[in-house]
Amino acid sequence: DVQTSNGFDSSLVALIIGIAGEIGNNSFDHNLGKWPGMPGTFFAHDGFRRFVVLADRGIGILASLQRVRPSLSTSRDALFVAFSEVISGRSPEARGNGLKFVRQAVIQNPFSLVFQSGDTQLQLKQGDTKLQLTKTAKVVPGCYALIYY
């Protein structure tokens, strides 16, 4: 139970749900009809260890954003854009604020986020002003997120 686990401030429950909901919803919104593997999203929560994990086998951030910005060529660039600009792979819909909401919720609260798509991992925690993007040896074709609270 998120509200009572391990001394967690229950006033932050809505934000945890909002962050997980935004990331999980993106798995479906950006992959419908395009799942290269098994459709769906993996979700797990551990209230004692205080984390949420989400993962999908979708097309990933780069392929999604290349639909509206073909000039994007790396997962690093795509993750930077996804977390810093109002942009949506679901153009012409007026969307694209979701991962900016996630970023703000994490940096303004006692949370941290590890998010990977392709060969790039983003790490974000409370108080960060810059996105920390790292190239990884392992390539994740879809996306995965670890939310720590």
Cβ neighbours of residue 45 under 8 Å, at least 6 residues apart?
Answer: 2, 20, 51, 52, 53
- Residues 84-129 pLDDT 10s: 998 765 556 555 578 999 999 999 999 999 999 999 999 999 999 9
Segment 68-82 shows an average pLDDT of 96
Amino acid letter, 134: T
Task: Report the topology of domain 5-148.
Answer: Heat Shock Protein 90 (3.30.565)
Distance of CA 72 to the CA centre of its chain: 18
pLDDT at 2 over 60: no
pLDDT in tens, 59-68: 999 999 998 8
- What is the reported pTM? 0.86
